[in-house]
Amino acid sequence: MNAMFSPSLMCMDLTKFKQQINALNTRATFYHVDIMDGHYVKNITLSPFFIQQLKKIATIPVDVHLMCERPEDIIPLCLDAGADIISFHPETAGNKIFRLIQEIKEAGKQVGVVLNPSEPIEMVNEYIHLLDKITIMSVDPGFAGQKFIPETLNKIRRLKTLRDEQHYHYLLEIDGSCNPKTFKTVAASGVDVFIVGTSGLFSLDTNIEKAWDKMIEIFQRETADLTLA
């Protein structure tokens, strides 16, 4: 499987919204939309309304990452807005995890969970077979521009081995500081999807097409001696 890239739209230039989305439609695999409620993390970013507007021109799946204390309140809004994939932090769902997974799947959408740097993969043992995607945070959630935590790659490796052994179908995704400094190390872990934000994509050029081309050139150069499966 070739590397897939998911631009984090909280990092985009919203004054160029339509222009950048039209360009990314033919380049990216997913759009990553962070929804933060100001409680689970001390930040407030995008919203179901943003998803609704994005879906008017997006031609690739919209992948929503909920950083909210009550995902059960936000999931229906995201489904109504047109989200294609919804991921939440399992510790916020408590005894509602199976119900939330079922709600998302019954709507015909894909479901994922997100593990923070300090959280073990054992947290998802009971329902891992139901997941379409597992996102590993390589920084603490909430803010862009944090320092990469290399220990998180151990989880990627273990989850990839487990997927191969048990024939699970989830994608493995990494979120946080995916950029020229970390591309090679992250790619070597066996991850499928790279979420790219300011340092990985949007700061490379003010023209998003040129920024994307630069990102791909850097990625290919940094990973040239790796075999990406």
34 noted as active-site residue:
yes
229 has a pLDDT exceeding 80: no
Per-residue confidence (pLDDT) for residue 169, from 0 to 100: 96
Per the CB < 8 A criterion, the answer to whether 200 and 142 are in contact is no
C-alpha–C-alpha distance, residues 136 and 60, integer Å: 22
What predicted TM-score, i.e. pTM, was given to this entire model?
A: 0.95
Per the CB < 8 A criterion, the answer to whether 85 and 109 are in contact is yes
Per-residue confidence (pLDDT) for residue 67, from 0 to 100: 95
Q: Do the annotations mark residue 39 as ligand-binding?
A: no
pLDDT tens, residue by residue, 179-223: 999 999 999 999 999 999 999 999 999 999 999 999 999 999 999
Q: Do the annotations mark residue 177 as ligand-binding?
A: yes
Q: Do the annotations mark residue 167 as ligand-binding?
A: no
Q: Do the annotations mark residue 143 as ligand-binding?
A: yes
Write down the catalytic residue from 34, 37, 63, 192: 34
Per-residue confidence (pLDDT) for residue 82, from 0 to 100: 98
Summary mean pLDDT of the chain = 95
Q: Do the annotations mark residue 82 as ligand-binding?
A: no
Q: Do the annotations mark residue 199 as ligand-binding?
A: yes
pLDDT tens, residue by residue, 37-78: 989 888 889 999 999 999 999 999 999 999 999 999 999 999
Q: Do the annotations mark residue 144 as ligand-binding?
A: yes
SS3 52: helix
Under the banding of pLDDT at 50, 70 and 90, the label for residue 143 is: low
140 noted as active-site residue:
no
Q: Of 184, 197, 179, which is closest to residue 228 (Cα–Cα)?
A: 184
Write down the catalytic residue from 37, 84, 132, 175: 175
Indicate the domain borders of the chain.
4-222
Q: Do the annotations mark residue 176 as ligand-binding?
A: yes
CATH number of 4-222: 3.20.20.70
**Angle CA(48)–CA(66)–CA(98) in degrees, nearest 5?**
110
pLDDT tens, residue by residue, 123-141: 999 999 999 999 999 998 8
DSSP 66: E
Which tops the pLDDT comparison, 177 or 13? 13
SS3 161: helix
